[in-house]
Amino acid sequence: MYSGSSDGESHEAATQRKIPPVSSMLWVRNLRRYIGSGAGLGSEALMELETKRILLDIFKEKQQKSAEAGTIPSFYKKKPEEGSISHRVQKLAKYRFLKKQSDLLLNADDLDAMWVCLRENCVIDDATGAEKMNYEDFCHIASVCTEQIGPKCRRFFSPSNFMKFEKDESGRIAILPFYLYVMRTVSLTQARIDMSELDEDSDGFLQPHEMEAYIRGLIPNLAQLRDMPAAFVQMYCRIAAHKFSFFCDPHRRGKACIKKVLLSNCLQELMELHQESEEEVTDTEQAENWFSLTSAQRICDMFLALDKDMNGTLSKQELKEYADGTLTEIFIERVFDEHVRRCKIGAGSNREMDFDSFLDFVLALENKDTPEGLTYLFRCLDLNGRGFLTTADIHSLFRDVHQKWIEGGNYELCIEDVRDEIWDMVKPADPLRITLADLLACKQGGTVASMLIDVRGFWAHDNRENLLQEEEEPEEES
């Protein structure tokens, strides 16, 4: 007799012997032969086969290159060519991403609705009269805003955002700082989207012409620039964009990082022009704001007045007339040595300063206390290019200032005393030399630079106490 288990095993073995392998079937072999020739495929299937073949070739090529390169990683990726499929896909993906981010932003009506909601659901502080809210009010306002505006405002009402603001003894925050935070976040996000749309190669940087295009798009929305003459728009955009390049591209790579632009004081200064013209904006405030129309016209007029031969560039002799001729000759020489490109035709004596270099020059002198301005000036002060100043350098630099000081009818002074005073102001880490880091650390680097390059700057330092007293007297009278 046979057991049940042995009977089942023999049945399975018999079944396996009876069924031939798939590959041996005639219809399978014929179908494979038919498809392999490509004759029985539709256009879509042929395209799929061709795509797979191309991708396989690319993969094999990369494998071969990797094997030949050894262990050195790839550090350069070629950008897609204009009009290629990769370039078109990249542009489309960028457009869709920025469109999605833009749709998530609050518009002007949403911000107005949020402000109304905040005021209707806050409490008045009895002591100060300020409108405040505690965390329960904060959560309630979040629910109301979500119902009225939509879920896109929910991200502003997170616990971490509530903790960012100063709280009183009752754990309440003022609604105004919170609302200003929301407005600034929306404004910066919109600015980033606008800049990213202009970033042609999508590398997170803006080239000068892209920055100019961004500023040109802002002009209609800036109250103080709406009446700008159309003929001056291009020149204004060039002047305005150059300040972003000066402060956000310190290494002069020809492009400014978008993140750095957004966090810079330059953008904040530009946005100050949103103020309506009927508000009190003094001539002094307009002149101090580089992006004001008054300031841009002043710079153009200054360049045209210095350009005596009207060739579009400034020679050393012409630049010496800047600021009524108070700058020293050695400083002008050093500016041309360090910051003016050589002429294509001629030697160094034929070098002339173009308008872009002039903008750098003016920005450095008007922002001497900033790291960027002081870096520009330090290269001129460093007579031997060693990265530090010695007592001999200070003596050489101040000698021209001393000469102009005496020619102006001022009292006699000792150069060694001025040198010692500079050393006391800077307090360098190495008592024998002053570095750029020392000037930045002492917080008086701009004053020291003015003393060494401009007789008017030295006069202002020498009369600082009298000038301070004159500034305080009008305040007391008012």
Neighbours of 290 (CB within 10 A): 21
CA distance 223 to 124: 34
Two structure tokens written together for 21:
């392998």
**Selection from 164, 165, 123, 163 nearest residue 140 by Cα:** 123
pLDDT at position 401: 93
CA distance 275 to 223: 6
Residue 67 pLDDT:
74
Tokens of 75: 């550090």
Angle (nearest 5°) at CA 345 between 342 and 346: 70
CATH fold of 325-469, please?
A: Recoverin; domain 1 (1.10.238)
Per-residue pLDDT at 49: 79
CA-to-CA separations, 361 to 158, 255, 326, 377, 387, in angstroms, rounded: 46, 19, 15, 9, 20
Report yes or no: 214 and 195 within 8 Å, Cβ to Cβ: yes
pLDDT of residue 347: 45
Number of other residues whose CB lies within 10 A of the CB of residue 369: 14
pLDDT value for 349: 53
User: What's the start-to-end Cα distance of the chain, in Å?
Assistant: 125
**DSSP state, 221?**
G
What pLDDT sits at residue 58?
A: 87
Q: Along the chain (478 residues), what's the average pLDDT of each consecutive run of 10 residues? A: 47 52 65 58 71 86 76 71 85 92 92 94 88 94 93 92 92 93 94 93 91 94 90 96 94 92 93 70 71 94 94 94 93 94 57 93 95 95 94 93 90 89 94 94 94 93 77 56
Could you list the beta-strand ranges (E) of 125-252.
131-133, 173-174, 205-206
C-alpha distances in Å from residue 365, one per residue of 142, 240, 322, 361: 49, 17, 11, 6
Calpha distance 142→148 (Å, rounded): 10
The CATH number fitting domain 198-291, selected from 1.10.238.220, 1.10.10.10, 3.40.50.2000, 3.40.710.10: 1.10.238.220
Helix H, strand E, coil C: the string for 234-269 is HHHHHHHHHHHHHHHCCCCCCCEEHHHHHHCHHHHH
**Three-state SS sequence of 316-340:** HHHHCCHHHHCECHHHHHHHHHHHC
- 359: nearest Cα among 378, 372, 349: 372
Whole-angstrom distance, CA of residue 204 vs CA of residue 259: 8
Q: What's the pLDDT score for residue 5?
A: 47
In degrees and rounded to multiples of 5, residue 370 shows phi and psi of -90, 155
CA dihedral 268, 270, 271, 273 (to 10 degrees): 140
CA distance 456 to 325: 10
Residue 49 pairs with which residues in a beta bridge? none
Q: What is the pLDDT, as a whole number, of residue 15?
A: 47
Measured N-to-C along each axis, helices 208-218 and 233-248 cross at an angle, to the nearest 10 degrees, of 120
d(CA 333, CA 40): 80
